[in-house]
Amino acid sequence: MSILENNAELARRVAEVAEVAGYLWQKGWAERNGGNIVINITDCIDSSLRQMPPLEEAVPIGTTLPCLRGCFFYCKGTNRRMRDLARSPMENGSVIRITDDCAHYQIVADRPIRPTSELPSHLSVHNYLISKGSPYRASLHTHPIQLVAMTHHPPFLEKDALTQLLWSMIPETRAFCPRGLGIVPYLLPSSVDLAEATIETLDQGYDVVMWEKHGVFAVDTDIISAFDQVDVLNKAAEIYQSARAMGFVPQGMSQEQLHQLAQAFFLK
């Protein structure tokens, strides 16, 4: 029996993950087993689930994360495809519990499916979010085509260059991605260096971080909201690239227009 059967809130959140996984596949942002989703589900774990025995021995995280003691996460499985996760989330993902030493995790449900190889990076971000008192409980990594393409052009990698450009393409980008897009220069995927650089960029005030020539990492209160931010940013990138394909450089909104938007939506 799945742990979702007697926990409506947990079932709802896992269903959201499955929904987003389907969107990522449909958009072409999740080739093969590309991309990852990790959500903090600690607040909807009841006493019976807390006492569940592990399905296998504890696995080292590779680092110690003191803010995650006793926390529970739902994670996409390693080498699992988003299209399969969309159809069967508990057959392509697992629920894990962080042990009291904050350095290991145990798989507690539904099956002994090892989490994503990028789990240490995602958990390090969640540890950071909790340490800051953030309400964010979801992390998403995916490969949005137009945004990744733009990172192959060095001028776009300058601090806030992409933010200003994307904000200017359509009003919704400024309204719904008010913190813009942080940039992390290329680093080895799944590396400690990449995790640390991502946390450093989030600490500068961004919610969405662009990994040069790789993909996007986004955090938000839930996985739907994290997806929405990436979706809006990539739409702005599509508009820019469509204009260039038509043979002109898009004018974009002026700084005054962007300022008016910020005032209208109470943005910083």
- Amino acid in the structure at residue 21: A
40 CB-contact burial (10 Å; exposed 0-12 / middle 13-18 / buried 19+):
buried
Residue 227's nearest CA partner among 168, 142, 166 is 142
Strands 72-76, 93-98: pairing kind: antiparallel
Residue 38 identity (one-letter amino acid): V
Q: What angle do CA 230, 233, 234 make, to 5 degrees?
A: 85
The per-residue b/e assignment along 62-97, b for 16 or more CB within 10 angstroms, e otherwise, is eeebeebeebbbbbbbeebbbbbbbeebbebbbbbb
- Catalytic residue from among 9, 16, 31, 118: 118
Active site residue 118: yes
Instruction: Please identify every residue annotated as catalytic.
Output: 118
